[in-house]
Structure 1
Amino acid sequence: MSVQNVFKFPHLVVLWISQLFSAIGDHLYVVAITWIAIQELGSSAAYVIGSGTFSSLFFGLLGGVYADRWNRFNIMIGTDLLRALFVALIPLIELVSEIHIWHLVLISVAVSGLGTFFNPSLQSSLPSLCKDPRLLQQTNALMDTTHRLARIFGPGLTGVFLLFLPLPHFFSLDSFTFVVSAIALTFIRKSFMKTRYIQSNPSQKRQTPLKDLTQAYHLLHNHKLLVWALISLGLVNLCWGAVYMVGVPLFTEKVLKESVAAFGLIGGAYGVGNIVSLFVVGNIKRNMIYMYIGHLILGVGFIVIASADTLWVALLGAVIAAFGSPMGDILLLTMIQTDFPETHIGKIYSFRALIGGLGLSLGTFLASFFYQLLPISVVMFIFSAIIIGVGLTGIIFLKRINLKPVFHLSK
Structure 2
Amino acid sequence: MQPHSPWRFADFRTLFTGSALSHLGTNIGYVAVPLIAVAALDASPGQVGALATLSTLAFLLIGLPAGAWVDRMRQRRVLIGADLARALLFASVPLAWWLDALTLGHLYAVVLLNGCATVFFDVASQSALPQLVDREALVDANAAMMSLMAASNVAGRGAGGGLVQLLTAPVAVLGTAVAYLASALRLTAIRGAGLPADRRPRARLRTRIAEGLRHVLGNGELRALALTAALSNLGSQIINTMLPVLFYRQPGLGAGALGLYWAAGGAGLLLGARSARPVAERFGYGRALGLAGLCLAPAGLLVPLVDRGAGLWIAGGGWVLAMFKVGMDNVLGVSLRQRMTADSLLGRMNATFRFLLTGALAVGAAVSGLLGELVGVRATLWVGAAFLATAFLPVFLSPVRTRSELPQQRREPAVSAP
**Matched residue of 1:288: which SS?**
helix
Deviations 1:243-300 (A, max 9, x none): 555479859988xx85235544432322212111111114434723322333224423
What number of residue pairs does the alignment pair up?
399
Deviations 1:156-181 (A, max 9, x none): 42355457756434343222222211
> Is 2:331 the counterpart of 1:330?
yes
2:114 to 103, 111, 117: 111
Shift of 1:407: 3.1
Shift of 1:404: 4.5
Q: Which residue type is aligned with residue 275 of structure 1?
A: L
Shift of 1:314: 2.9
> Is 2:188 the counterpart of 1:186?
yes
2:415 alignment partner in structure 1: none
1:136 alignment partner in structure 2: 138
Q: Which residue type is aligned with residue 363 of structure 2?
A: L
* CA separation of 1:58 and 1:174: change in aligned 2, threshold 3 A: same
Shift of 1:212: 0.7
Cα RMSD (Å): 3.5
How far apart are the structure 2 equivalents of 1:390 and 1:86?
34
2:196 alignment partner in structure 1: 197
2:225 to 229, 234, 237: 229
2:215 alignment partner in structure 1: 219
Name stretches of at least 5 consecutive residues in structure 1 with no aligned partner: none
Shift of 1:102: 3.2
How far apart are the structure 2 equivalents of 1:218 and 1:117?
21
1:259 alignment partner in structure 2: 253
1:19 alignment partner in structure 2: 19
2:318 alignment partner in structure 1: 317
* CA separation of 1:236 and 1:54: change in aligned 2, threshold 3 A: same
1:280 to 275, 280, 289: 275
How far apart are the structure 2 equivalents of 1:299 and 1:94?
41
Flag the structure with more relative contact order, 1 or 2, with Cα contacts below 8 A and sequence separation at least 6. 2
How far apart are the structure 2 equivalents of 1:312 and 1:350?
37
> Is 2:155 the counterpart of 1:153?
yes
> Is 2:83 the counterpart of 1:80?
yes
TM-score computed with the length of structure 1 as normaliser? 0.83
Deviations 1:72-131 (A, max 9, x none): 11111222222222322334445666233333222222211011111111100100111x
* CA separation of 1:103 and 1:368: change in aligned 2, threshold 3 A: closer
1:293 alignment partner in structure 2: 291
1:208 alignment partner in structure 2: 204
How far apart are the structure 1 equivalents of 2:377 and 2:100?
46
Q: Which residue type is aligned with residue 29 of structure 1?
A: G
Deviations 1:340-377 (A, max 9, x none): 12121111111111211233333444456667659958
How far apart are the structure 1 equivalents of 2:16 and 2:344?
24
* CA separation of 1:246 and 1:298: change in aligned 2, threshold 3 A: farther
Name stretches of at least 5 consecutive residues in structure 2 with no aligned partner: 411-418
Q: Which residue type is aligned with residue 240 of structure 1?
A: S
Question: Which deviates more from structure 2 when the two are superposed, residues 265-274 or residues 95-104?
Answer: 95-104
* CA separation of 1:75 and 1:248: change in aligned 2, threshold 3 A: closer
Answer whether contact 1:262 1:311 (CA < 8 A) is retained: no
Deviations 1:26-78 (A, max 9, x none): 22233343233332252134433332222232121122111101111111122
> Is 2:353 the counterpart of 1:358?
no
**Matched residue of 1:158: which SS?**
helix
TM-score computed with the length of structure 2 as normaliser? 0.81
Q: Percent identity?
A: 20
1:120 to 113, 120, 123: 123
Answer whether contact 2:301 2:389 (CA < 8 A) is retained: no
**Matched residue of 2:358: which SS?**
helix
How far apart are the structure 2 equivalents of 1:3 and 1:306?
45
> Is 2:235 the counterpart of 1:239?
yes
